[in-house]
Amino acid sequence: MSSLDFALKDFYRKKNQTIPYLIVIALVFAITEFLIYFTSSLGLNLFIQSDFSNEYYFSGSISKVYKQFITLIQILLMILAVFIVVAISTTHILNKKKDIGIMKALGTLPRKLYNFYLLEVYIIFFIGFFLGVILGLLSFTIFSLIMNSFYFSIEIQIDILYTLILFFSCIFGIFIVSGYALRKIGKEKIIKTFSKDIPYDYDASKKIKFIPKWLSSLGINIKLSIINTLRRKGEFKRYFIIFSLICLIIFTLGLGTIVLRTSSEEWIRKSQGDNIIIIGHQDVIQNYSLMYEMFSNPRIFVNNSDINFTDKKYLFDINNVRNIKESINDIEKVDERLIAFCDTEEMSKTVIVDGEYVTYGKHRTENIPIIGVNLSKIIQNFEIEGNYSFLDYEIFIGDGLAYNNFEKPLIQSLKIKDIGNESHIFEITGVIIDSFYNGYAGYISLESFQNKLLFSNQTINIVLLKLRSGSYKNIKTDLENYIESNLGSDFAHMKMDGVFKKNLNFIFNLSLYPMFLMIIMTILGILSLYNYQKSGIMEKARDFLIMRALGTRNKALKRILFLESTFVIIPSLLISLSIGMILNSIVIFGRVYLPPLYIPFAVFAILLIAFTFFNFLSLFPIMRKINKFTIKDFDIY
């Protein structure tokens, strides 16, 4: 009989065992593939509506750190899927120990046994994998159609890279881990193969090793739960690894979401601010506000064909608003600006790196807004890499422009073309996280910009006011009268808090995907705990029947089961806490605002309480099942 023929017949003969394994593997791959498709197709744009016209949308620092975070989660999900598949395959092989022992007794060569059962494991894996991929793609297709019916644009695109990595990782993992378990069984004496996870010669009277004496001395129930865990340490290790990975993903999602949301909101606050009023021509302030809203709305895009900011009707003399702070109370700061769309070009630069000449820059061009500001009056307190410096030919630029149009922005330059019929090269001194124009903007000295545009030093086209909190209603009428008297009826003001809130709401929407994933992983963790308690129920029930015959109460049996799962929960959460903080610090903690130290421990406490609670609830169906067992349910021989 060939190995394939044997594997297929054994697969069908023991279908009551193999089909549940097949279903679990298919579901694991279906969930993993769904999440891979979901993340790859959407990126982070889950709540982006259709008609995508903003070519600069979500391409700056916030996009960069969120995508790094999501990539980390994708990798952890794939690792979890591989470990679950390998654990299932190894468990399947361990359940074949009795069959392997009988075949060895009949003279079957260990090499043949290895080929027979490893091939059977691969058959289960291949069928489960392809069923899972099809089911995952089908479920994602249905999900995307539902979302599209609510006008949320979700593109269906087949992932190849992650799927292939997952496929070959599982093949390799089964060969190494499950194959090792199979080879180990093949070398064992026949008598040893009649036991599964519990060693055939396990002696419960031996002294407990590696466990503090004080723990086992706290009570008989604790001691029995420790003994049960130690004698089934193979199963404990498998569930411990899987549950640790689940906890790691949940902890990483929870902590990462808190950190990224808090940091992103702070970056937007620094870039935009609240209690801000803009003053200018009606066309200017309308387009200026839309250029901030571009950060959160992909359907908005303003360019030089929409408005020419340097049109004479938009310009006014700075002296017309010079005394606005003295005329109107509750104005904390006045920021005069001159904005214009300019053609720009990335300039290349050659530097010495490790003794070799390296040239950075591809001379990429963009038409972007350049803003002249007075550094001493600027309202925003940008998050910046580098320095604010406004010498005559220095500039700092937004993160979208820096990360997408430059290789090494802080050592390169930006050419601004056709300013006053000339081109000028500016050294980049800083990169800021900016929500204005999705970070595709540059800031230079107001005086320098006015001179290069051949305007007088008094010419501007927009003014920003920083108001005291809650004062807008009190000064609104005075502000309108002042603008009409000093600038004319074509000029107006606009409160920017509405746009600010829209951008903050977008940051909140970004956290919905990790929260959705946390719910899925928590459910998976609860199911994993339940399966750990349920596994080996026949062996546990036999022991519990004997204990109950000796007078042990159900309450004590329930405590033993509860403690066995607790021995998985606590160390898994401790490991996830330490590894999760390391992973987050490596991947996303570079520039973000670190939370107080109590936050990670608060996440740890919440997870501990949640899993302990569900651990307690899961005991009720298990105890009902155990209570139905009688001695007739067990084979004596």
Beta bridge partners of 235: none
Q: How far apart are CA 66 and CA 58, in angstroms?
A: 10
Q: How far apart are CA 120 and CA 535, in angstroms?
A: 22
Q: What is the pLDDT of residue 8?
A: 63
Chain centroid offset of residue 78 CA: 13
Q: What is the pLDDT of residue 102?
A: 66
Q: What is the pLDDT of residue 115?
A: 73
Beta bridge partners of 370: 340, 442
Residue 196 reports pLDDT greater than 60: no
User: Which of 130-144, 344-358, 460-474, 589-603 holds the top average pLDDT?
Assistant: 460-474
- Helix 512-534 vs helix 554-587: crossing angle, to nearest 10: 150
Q: How far apart are CA 80 and CA 71, in angstroms?
A: 14
Per-residue pLDDT band for 637 (boundaries 50, 70, 90) equals very low
Q: Output 120 or 225, whichever has higher pLDDT.
A: 120
Closest CA to 246 of 522, 610, 618, 601: 522
Per-residue pLDDT band for 491 (boundaries 50, 70, 90) equals very high
Q: What is the pLDDT of residue 56?
A: 84
Q: b/e string for 333-363 if b means 16 or more Cβ within 10 A? A: ebbbbbbbbbbbbbbeeeeeeeeeeeebbee
Residue 336 reports pLDDT greater than 70: yes
Q: What is the pLDDT of residue 293?
A: 92
Mean pLDDT over 332-353 rounds to 90
Mean pLDDT over 306-319 rounds to 90
629 Rama sector, left if φ>0, alpha if ψ -120 to 50, beta otherwise: beta
Dihedral sign (CA 489, 495, 496, 499): negative
Per-residue pLDDT band for 329 (boundaries 50, 70, 90) equals confident
Residue 46 reports pLDDT greater than 50: no
Mean pLDDT over 267-296 rounds to 92
Per-residue pLDDT band for 350 (boundaries 50, 70, 90) equals confident
Q: If DSSP states are collapsed to H, E and C, what string results for 164-179? A: HHHHHHHHHHHHHHHH
Per-residue pLDDT band for 49 (boundaries 50, 70, 90) equals very low
Residue 632 reports pLDDT greater than 80: no
CB within 8 Å of 253: residues ≥ 6 apart: 73, 514, 515, 517, 518, 521
Distances (CA, A) of 30 to 161, 171, 175, 477: 16, 17, 22, 61
Q: What is the pLDDT of residue 186?
A: 67
Structural element, H or E, at residue 41? helix 15-42
Per-residue pLDDT band for 542 (boundaries 50, 70, 90) equals low
Question: In this predicted structure, which of 162-166, 484-488, 629-633 has the lowest mean pLDDT?
Answer: 629-633
Distances (CA, A) of 504 to 50, 262, 295, 399, 435: 20, 10, 10, 18, 11
Question: In this predicted structure, which of 73-87, 176-190, 315-329, 355-369 has the lowest mean pLDDT?
Answer: 176-190
Residue 365 reports pLDDT greater than 50: yes
Distances (CA, A) of 560 to 14, 228, 485, 541, 618: 32, 9, 83, 12, 13
Q: Are 136 and 31 in contact (CB under 8 A)?
A: yes
CB within 8 Å of 140: residues ≥ 6 apart: 33, 34, 37, 38, 41, 156
Beta bridge partners of 428: 395
Pairing of strands 365-373, 442-445: parallel
Place of tokens 């430059």: 406
Residue 389 reports pLDDT greater than 80: no
User: Which of 201-210, 345-354, 612-621 holds the top average pLDDT?
Assistant: 345-354
Q: If DSSP states are collapsed to H, E and C, what string results for 596-619? A: CCHHHHHHHHHHHHHHHHHHHHCH
Residue 449: how many other CB atoms lie within 10 Å: 27
CA-based R_g, the chain, Å: 33
Mean pLDDT over 216-234 rounds to 67
Q: Output 375 or 212, whichever has higher pLDDT.
A: 375
List the chain domain ranges.
1-196, 197-271+510-637, 273-495
Q: How far apart are CA 153 and CA 45, in angstroms?
A: 9
For residue range 584-625, list pLDDT tens digits in order.
777 766 666 777 778 888 888 888 888 888 888 877 777 777
Per-residue pLDDT band for 558 (boundaries 50, 70, 90) equals confident
Mean pLDDT over 474-479 rounds to 90
Residue 283 reports pLDDT greater than 90: yes
Question: In this predicted structure, which of 176-190, 415-429, 469-483 has the lowest mean pLDDT?
Answer: 176-190
Q: For the chain, what percent of residues have pLDDT higher than 70?
A: 76
Closest CA to 607 of 587, 588, 586, 580: 580
